[in-house]
A and B are shown apart, each in its own frame.
Chain A
Amino acid sequence: MNWSQLADVVAAILLLLGSLLTLVAGVGILRFPDLLARIHAGTKPQVLGLVLVLSAEALRVRSWPVLGMLIVVVIFQFLTIPVAAHMVGRGGYRTEQLDRDLLVVDDLRDDMMAATRAETKPPSYDD
């Protein structure tokens, strides 16, 4: 077995693993109970799955220009996926697209309520 065959075998394994993770992301999005939980499935397994598939491609194609392109794609995935997840999560939270029964603690609501109270309360100069 020479090097290029080895690279092909590794590429095949990575490709399968990556596809599997993408499947997992899909199952998670279907199965998880509410928006916030579903974002978890749409970020982590999905990003790693894509990284594995792209690594497989780099190993199979073995060309520098393609490698450069794939690295840029991965960097932008790492940068944009968290931002997208944050925007969906924040929007979903503020429009109450969530199941409160599933939240054990919610520091954000507590802090937001405290802030609202502090705004509406007439200022007291005793303390």
Chain B
Amino acid sequence: MNGFHPRRRQVAVSVTGLIVLAVLWAMLWGDPHPGTIAAGVLIGAVTVFLLPMPRIGFHGRLHPWGAFVLLVKFHIDLVQASWQVSKLAFRFGYTPRGGIIGVKLRRANDLTMTSVAQISALVPGTIVVDAHRLTGTLYLHVLDLDLAGGAEQVRQDTLELEARVLRALAPREELERLGLVRARRRDTGKKEVSQ
């Protein structure tokens, strides 16, 4: 798709958006009847036309293995986070003492920052209070600093989360530059085939 004229690419992107919206619509109605799909396409077209979204600038490639690891770890983290908050909620007579910690991400890219911010709201200990787009800094509120193992530990955990996000969707050169290539063997074989 890279050789396309920029306007053509824009059209391709909104057609993808249209298809996604139509599929979502059909899934919500729970029935793939032609009428439902037609209505989905119509409503999707109106949505895409009236509420154009800014381009996200996705230059990477979805790495299936990285995405799988990210998803599995996210669900484990979600369970742990819920358990942690539950324990604190029933620890009567104890007041959690938190803090707001700034974490500077490696890659100040909209997609990476948004993904990390989204996921960090559901993993143990943190929610995003503020984000600084230019420096790529996330400000995370930690529910209980002692429980989270201190500010440094939170920074390290968040950077690990970012590494997982990058392994799932950053371009290969970027991963190499950041020294994040771990699953090398598995990927080189695949790269030849897919290109």
Contact = CB atoms under 8 A, between A and B. Distances in A.
Given A36-B141, A41-B85, A108-B102, A85 B127 contact: yes
A66 interface: yes
A13 interface: no
A90 B27 contact: no
B188 interface: no
Interface in B114-147: 117-122, 124, 127-130, 132, 137, 139, 141, 143, 145
Given A40-B143, A82-B120, 6 more contacts: A36-B141, A48-B78, A48-B81, A48-B82, A66-B30, A105-B101
B95 A33 contact: yes
Contact of B96 (A21, A25, A33): A33
Contact of A81 (B86, B122, B141): B122
A44 B24 contact: no
A36 B121 CA distance: 12
A1 interface: no
Contacts of A72: 24, 27-28
B127 A108 contact: no
A82 B117 contact: yes
A107 interface: yes
Contacts of A66: 30
A107 B135 CA distance: 14
Question: Could you say which of A41, A71, A86 has the most chain B C-beta atoms within 10 Å of its C-beta?
Answer: A86
Interface of B: 24, 27-31, 78-79, 81-82, 84-86, 88-90, 92, 95-102, 117-122, 124, 127-130, 132, 137, 139, 141, 143, 145, 151
A30 B27 CA distance: 36
Judged by DSSP, the binding face of B is mixed
A62 interface: no
A106 interface: yes
Nearest to A89: B129
A39 interface: yes
A43 interface: yes
Contact of B99 (A40, A105, A111): A105
A27 interface: yes
A118 to B, nearest CB: 13
A39 B78 CA distance: 15
A54 B97 CA distance: 33
B143 A86 contact: no
Given A43-B121, A90-B130, A105 B30 contact: no
B30 A37 contact: no
A57 B121 CA distance: 26
